[in-house]
Amino acid sequence: MDFFKNLISSALGTFIAIGLFFVFMFVFFAGSIALLEQEDFEVEIDEKTVLVLDTSKPIFDREPQDFSFFDALEIESAGFGLNTILPALEMASNDEKIIGISIKNMSAAGGTSNLIALRNGLKKFKESGKFIKAYSDGYTQSDYFLASIADSVFVHPEGLVDFRGLSAEVMYYKSAQEKSGITMEVIRQGKYKSAVEPYLFDKMSNENRIQIKTILNDVWSEMVDDISDSRGIDVKKLNVLADNLAGKNANSALKHSLVDGIVTQRKYDEKIKEIDEDVEFINLASYLNVPNSKKIKSSNRIAVVYAEGPIIYGEGSTEVIGSGKLVRTLKSIGKKDNIKAVVIRVNSPGGSAFASELIWEEIEELKKNKSVVVSMGNVAASGGYYISAGADEIVAMPTTITGSIGVLGTLPNFNKIATRWGVNAEQVMTNKQSMGYSPFEPVSNDFRNEVKSSIKQIYDTFLKRVSNGRGISKEEVHEIAQGRVWSGKKAKEIGLIDHLGGIDIALERASKLADIEDYKISVYPKYIEDLETIYEELFSGPFGKIKDKLPSEIEMIFDSEKSLLTKKEIIQARIPYTLNIR
């Protein structure tokens, strides 16, 4: 009887495995075919067409490159990239068949600097004489900032405009560490290097409060200036409206001119159709497949290299800057004669100091025969600034978070909780320093001094890189460094960047430095996902992304486990915190 049970269960398991395999292969090949068809698919549009901009998906620097069967089968899209949206808006402004834009399904996400870049693209479209209208069931602050560029802003009768100003919250864990027995051993260089502050204190330091307050004020100033310009409301009055929550309901928002009308979505659609009885609609995804009439015949190229995510020593991915992949990419670009200049789009909080140095070295080599301009996105701080410092010119948005020129070391320690639970780790060594660091023992003075020495050396190198790249003395760099974070606006005032603007300004500067007028853009790095990665996307389930949802200070505990394996990852050039502006 047991024999037959085992036989049946084995056969059943085999059939299930074969079935899952064929399902996977079907999805993979169907998705691949859909992607191939999408590449050759061209769309024709009618006269009097309105471009519908759905902002319910995040706005990235670069169109998502990872293979996704959801994208391929048109089930779900991860989001759009500025590298496709902005050219599409420029094309639409010159397209006689496009008469205007309708912004709908507001849920703007992607970072303040990216939203400003998108808003600027919409502003240029509006300057072509075409209309922009916006509708939402309810506006978050980011939604409203983007929608305020429209000629007319509409909200649902039961909706609101959440216009209240900016805030940031940082959690502190000193007491929690003492109670749990799990601590983070931290060593830092620079009085503003507050990435480790949550582990050392229960309250925010004055230095940290100053820099966060300064950044919030700079970002808010940029936002209200733009809203004031579009809505014709004085900046002082906008701040009063924010303090009094003037957008708390639709009627109040209309009364205080935050919106132009209160309608349902159905009524809004009817208003658009009233513009012309023959009006047609096209969404952005479809419009991206409309052939561009503007043809560039030049053989000249400007390479745009996207460096996005934390910096690691290794290969990386579309969401992580790996020194190995990026260095090889830069080497390859250096050998291509038709590439006359390079724009490196940096959107990174930093990471491995050693990996940052390797990337910096390769950029220096690239500069010997090509002009290099850095375009900073939402954040280009610490290691993100390290790899930017040597560029011929640096361009950043006014709201870019940058600077954070400082170094830190973090190590998780379980000595207290191990002692509490009766766990004892014994070590056997051949030499005095053989052990180095054990997470089950208190950090020895010898090891702490060893890490301090390395941090001091790397910080000194960091200062030299910035000093040489920006043409200011090392002493001056130290005064504006020490881990302090700056907005792009302040960074220009103190000499850390050259120009304010988006990637369009960076391309202008790169073409001027290379002395070329007409050029095509080549995008790097190239990513090819293997079957294992695709399989993981399909079947890993929701739990693989749990770490991404944690507060940055908790996430750092997970990341620091690498430091137990390699000394290259102990010392970090990393932004003090993830600034969640709400």
The least confident of 27-31, 310-314, 399-403, 410-414 is 27-31
- Rounded CA gap, 81 and 491, in Å? 26
**More confident position, 558 or 356:** 356
The confidence band for 195, taking pLDDT boundaries of 50, 70 and 90, is low
pLDDT of residue 465: 97
| In-domain check, residue 180 | no
- N-terminal to C-terminal alpha carbon distance within the chain: 65
**More confident position, 139 or 298:** 139
Checking if the pLDDT of 266 tops 90, the result is yes
pLDDT of residue 568: 53
Residues 342 and 489 grouped into a single domain: yes
Strand (E) or helix (H) holding 552: helix 552-559
- Rounded CA gap, 499 and 153, in Å? 32
- Rounded CA gap, 262 and 269, in Å? 13
Residues 392 and 270 grouped into a single domain: no
- Rounded CA gap, 342 and 303, in Å? 5
| In-domain check, residue 61 | yes
Contact predicate 405/190, CB 8 Å: yes
Overall number of domains in the chain: 2
- Rounded CA gap, 208 and 172, in Å? 13
The C-alpha angle with vertex 306 and arms to 530 and 543, in degrees rounded to 5, equals 50
Any bridge partners for residue 375, and if so which? Answer: 345, 395
The least confident of 128-142, 473-487, 543-557 is 543-557
| In-domain check, residue 295 | no
The confidence band for 54, taking pLDDT boundaries of 50, 70 and 90, is confident
Domain finish residue from 287, 309, 339: 287
pLDDT of residue 570: 60
pLDDT of residue 435: 87
Mean pLDDT over 553-564 rounds to: 44
Q: How do 571-574 and 407-413 pair as beta strands?
A: antiparallel
- Rounded CA gap, 154 and 139, in Å? 10
Nearest Cα to 526, choosing from 39, 66, 28, 59? 66
Contact predicate 357/385, CB 8 Å: no
Q: How does the average pLDDT of the chain come out, rounded?
A: 83
The confidence band for 159, taking pLDDT boundaries of 50, 70 and 90, is very high
- Rounded CA gap, 513 and 340, in Å? 9
Residues 436 and 331 grouped into a single domain: yes
Checking if the pLDDT of 535 tops 60, the result is no
| In-domain check, residue 197 | no
Residues 329 and 473 grouped into a single domain: yes
The confidence band for 170, taking pLDDT boundaries of 50, 70 and 90, is confident
- Rounded CA gap, 42 and 37, in Å? 10
Residues 276 and 345 grouped into a single domain: no
User: Which of these is catalytic: 57, 126, 133, 193?
Assistant: 193
Residues 255 and 311 grouped into a single domain: no
CA 294 to chain centre: 30
Residues 272 and 305 grouped into a single domain: no
Q: What is the pLDDT of residues 561-579, one digit of tens each?
A: 444 444 555 677 776 555 5
Mean pLDDT over 204-227 rounds to: 91
pLDDT of residue 487: 94
User: Which of these is catalytic: 382, 388, 511, 552?
Assistant: 382
Residues 114 and 144 grouped into a single domain: yes
| In-domain check, residue 20 | no
Mean pLDDT over 259-268 rounds to: 96
pLDDT of residue 35: 45
Q: Is-catalytic flag, 193?
A: yes
The least confident of 185-189, 260-264, 267-271, 287-291 is 185-189
Residues 452 and 407 grouped into a single domain: yes
Residues 109 and 256 grouped into a single domain: yes
Domain finish residue from 287, 317, 343: 287
| In-domain check, residue 96 | yes
Q: Is-catalytic flag, 257?
A: no
Mean pLDDT over 467-490 rounds to: 93
Question: What pTM value is reported for the model?
Answer: 0.83
Q: Percentage of the chain with pLDDT > 70?
A: 79
Q: How do 407-413 and 499-500 pair as beta strands?
A: unpaired
The confidence band for 365, taking pLDDT boundaries of 50, 70 and 90, is very high
- Rounded CA gap, 50 and 514, in Å? 38
The set of residues, in sequence order, having a beta carbon less than 8 Å from that of 322 and lying 6+ positions away, is 312, 313, 314, 315, 316, 355
Nearest Cα to 284, choosing from 77, 527, 127, 473? 77
pLDDT of residue 30: 47
Segment of 40-44, 87-91, 343-347 carrying the highest mean pLDDT: 343-347
Mean pLDDT over 97-107 rounds to: 88
Mean pLDDT over 430-450 rounds to: 89
Residues 269 and 318 grouped into a single domain: no
| In-domain check, residue 546 | yes
CATH classification of the domain holding 99: 3.90.226.10
Residues 257 and 374 grouped into a single domain: no
Contact predicate 570/409, CB 8 Å: yes
pLDDT of residue 529: 53
- How many Cβ atoms sit within 10 Å of the Cβ of residue 193? 31
| In-domain check, residue 16 | no
The least confident of 278-292, 312-326, 567-581 is 567-581
| Per-residue three-class SS string for 490-514 | HHHHCCCCCEECCHHHHHHHHHHHH
The least confident of 92-106, 111-125, 190-204, 378-392 is 190-204
State the maximum Cα–Cα separation within the chain, in Å, rounded to a whole number: 87
Q: What is the pLDDT of residues 352-363, one digit of tens each?
A: 999 999 999 999
- Rounded CA gap, 577 and 69, in Å? 34
Which letter does DSSP use for residue 568 in this model?
G
Mean pLDDT over 95-104 rounds to: 93
The C-alpha angle with vertex 425 and arms to 422 and 429, in degrees rounded to 5, equals 160
Domain finish residue from 287, 312, 338: 287
Question: Containing domain of residue 327, as a range?
Answer: 301-574
Cβ burial, residue 197 (10 Å; 0-12/13-18/19+): buried
**More confident position, 420 or 561:** 420
The confidence band for 401, taking pLDDT boundaries of 50, 70 and 90, is very high
Mean pLDDT over 118-124 rounds to: 95
